Amino acid sequence: KQEVTQIPAALSVPEGENLVLNCSFTDSAIYNLQWFRQDPGKGLTSLLLIQSSQREQTSGRLNASLDKSSGRSTLYIAASQPGDSATYLCAVRGDPQGGSEKLVFGKGTKLTVNP
């Protein structure tokens, strides 16, 4: 059974700092990995998606990497801003060949960027 772990559970940093959020998963037979952002009381917004054949994806100040063999992904946020404060969730999708389109989520990292 796939399990996804995110460390740390919470992180507080000063504005302008570069930071890394970590995600690990137990079964490396994944189809892709998605990073989401969730603001308080809101739904999930997809930030980046990395296919299993890819090593990284970038969008603006965000960069996500994937090391499938070791079961790890990182989300790098450059020059953090107070508006980046949110909970960041990592989710992995099983191999559709195995009949699974399900996403398995980690419990998230709550990020606070202080002005």
Partner 1 sequence: DAGVIQSPRHEVTEMGQEVTLRCKPISGHDYLFWYRQTMMRGLELLIYFNNNVPIDDSGMPEDRFSAKMPNASFSTLKIQPSEPRDSAVYFCASLGNFEQFFGPGTRLTVL
What's the rounded Cα separation, in Å, for the pair 57 and 5? 20
Residue placing its CB nearer to partner 1 in the complex, 25 or 36: 36
| CA proximity to 113, closest of 87, 84, 79 | 84
| Residue of 24, 34, 43, 39 whose CA lies nearest to 86 | 39
- CB under 8 A: which stretch of 13-21, 66-74, 75-83, 101-109 binds partner 1? 101-109
Q: How far is it, in rounded angstroms, from Cα 89 to Cα 58?
A: 17
Shorter beta-carbon distance to partner 1: residue 33 or 80: 33
The interface region with partner 1, picked from 12-20, 22-30, 45-53, 75-83 by CB under 8 A, is 45-53
- From candidates 3, 15, 42, 58, binder to partner 1 by CB under 8 A: 42
User: 3-state DSSP call for residue 53?
Assistant: coil
**Site residues, partner 1 (CB under 8 A):** 32, 34, 36, 41-46, 49, 51, 89, 91, 100-108
